[in-house]
Structure formats: C-alpha cells, structure tokens
Amino acid sequence: MEDKLYQFFSENEFDYKEPHSGHLERFERKLNAPNKINKTSWKWLSVAASVVLVLGFWLGSNHQKQQLDLADISPKMEEVQSYFVSTINQELKTLEKNRSLNTETIIEQALDQLEELEENYNIFITELNNNGNQRKIISAMIKNYQQRLEILENVLKQIEYIKNPNLLNDEIYI
C-alpha cells in the first residue's frame, strides 16, 4: 500500500512547498479589507430592475385583456363557460383521486385527448379574436367543452368498472 501511495505522489506533481513569507498576513489583510462595492450603483440597478418589472407586468396584463374569450361575449356565455370550467376541474380532481397502476394508461390517454381539445380551443379563441362574434366559433367552443366533459365522464365510468368488475355483471342480472 505504501508503495502505491509513494508511486502516486512521485508520478504526479503536487505543490507541497511552504508559501512565501508573509502569505498569512497578506491573506488576513485582504480578508479584513472593506468592500469597495459602490452602493449607489446597486441602488440605481434596483430602481431600473423595478421599473422594468412593473412595465413588464403592465404590458402583460394589457395583452391578456385584448384577447377575447367565450366569457367576454355575453353574461350568458360567461355563465356557460364558468359552468363547464368548474365541472371539468371537479372531474379532473376526481380523476386524479382515482389514479392507480390499473388506471394509469386510461387516465393518461384521457389527459392527452383533453390537451388536444385545449389546443383546439385556443385556435377557436384566435379565430374569435380575428373574425369577431360568429355563431359557428361560439358553437364550436361550447362543443369543445362538452367533448371534454364526455371524455372525463367516460374515463370515470371505465375506472369504476376497473375498480368494481362485478358491477358490470350485476347490471346484467338486474
């Protein structure tokens, strides 16, 4: 073992010499020296960063307000949208509560379908903003929400059948 250590240290060049005289004193002087950072430059940088941040939030909020959504068309459409969104969110929570190894693939397939429908909905929003208040677009947006709910309800039924396989047999005999 000692031969291997001796061989390792002899093959590699390590700095094993003592530092020059006064090294410790120079190090302590640098360590105890006051910082030369200019505090006024930090103040200006923080003010500039704050201005940029506020300007970014303001521009972002203005951009979001200019985009029409189903709820912006009429109070009735706002009610329809809030119903669908709250129901979909509730169904998603139920879906996540029922996630297990047996239901993982079904849930992931459903979430992929929902993501695709969300992308289609964003296209409808763009069309609504470009073409104005058209009934076809509004109808397609509502159908999109309905399709999402149907997917979630079907998946929850499939999960129920997976959890209770006797449920299907019981329904046949009733």
Decide if pLDDT at 162 tops 90: no
Provide the residue count of the chain: 174
Sequence ranges of the domains in the chain: 70-173
Decide if pLDDT at 116 tops 90: yes
CB of 148 closer than 8 Å to CB of 117: yes
Per the confidence metrics, is the pTM higher than 0.95? no
CA distances from 67 to 14, 21, 60, 126, 132 (A): 66, 71, 11, 8, 11
Predicted confidence at residue 153, as pLDDT, reads: 92
Model pLDDT for residues 129-160, shown as the tens digit of each residue: 887 668 888 889 899 999 999 999 999 999 88
CB of 147 closer than 8 Å to CB of 117: yes
DSSP state of 72: G
